[in-house]
């Protein structure tokens, strides 16, 4: 199996594991609580994670994470206020819908992205 296929397979397995975690948290009735707790962790660790990923501008969150995880197809458009990011065709959402579970968006994607951006923005505010 070539390198590209291995990476794609790992991304699919990872997305499946994340969808399964949402299914189990949802079944236990704790998805919203765990999501809220996890959000605080993501916001607190955002700067460190942004540094680990080599993110130098907030807009890069929407190109670097999809390259690694292969879930959503993000497009960005810069404007006078910064930029707008739009996602389409998310593998994790598709798997979660097939499982009939709650939304994986915040716990496994959007809150982490927010943490990365806010962590990076803190650097700008201290300059």
For residue 120, the model assigns a pLDDT of 78
DSSP codes of every residue in 15-72: HHHHHHHHHHHHHTT-HHHHHHHHHHHHHHTHHHHHHHHT--SGGGHHHHHHHHH---
Give per-residue pLDDT as tens, 39-85.
999 999 999 999 999 998 999 999 999 999 998 999 999 999 999 99
Residues with Cβ within 8 Å of residue 27, at least 6 apart in sequence: 101
Q: What range defines the domain where residue 21 resides?
A: 3-126
Structurally, the chain folds into a number of domains equal to 1
Asked if residues 96 and 103 have their Cβ atoms less than 8 Å apart, the reply is yes
pTM for the structure as a whole? 0.87
For residue 44, the model assigns a pLDDT of 93
Residues linked to residue 79 through DSSP beta bridges, in sequence order: 82
Q: Rounded CA gap, 35 and 38, in Å? A: 5
For residue 125, the model assigns a pLDDT of 59
123 pLDDT exceeds 90? no
Give per-residue pLDDT as tens, 83-115.
999 998 899 999 999 999 999 999 999 999 999
Q: Rounded CA gap, 98 and 107, in Å? A: 18
């Amino acid at each position: 199996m070539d390198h590209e296929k291995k990476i794609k397979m790992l991304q699919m397995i990872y997305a499946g594991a994340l969808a399964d975690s949402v299914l189990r948290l949802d079944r236990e009735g704790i998805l919203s609580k765990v999501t809220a707790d996890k959000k605080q962790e993501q916001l607190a660790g955002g700067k460190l994670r942004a540094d680990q990923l080599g993110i130098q501008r907030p807009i890069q969150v929407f190109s670097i994470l999809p390259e690694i995880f292969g879930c959503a197809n993000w497009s960005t458009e810069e404007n006078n206020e910064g930029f707008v990011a739009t996602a389409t065709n998310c593998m994790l959402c598709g798997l979660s819908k097939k499982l009939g579970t709650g939304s994986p968006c915040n716990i496994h994607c959007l809150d982490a992205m927010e943490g990365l951006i806010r962590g990076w923005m803190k650097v700008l505010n201290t300059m």
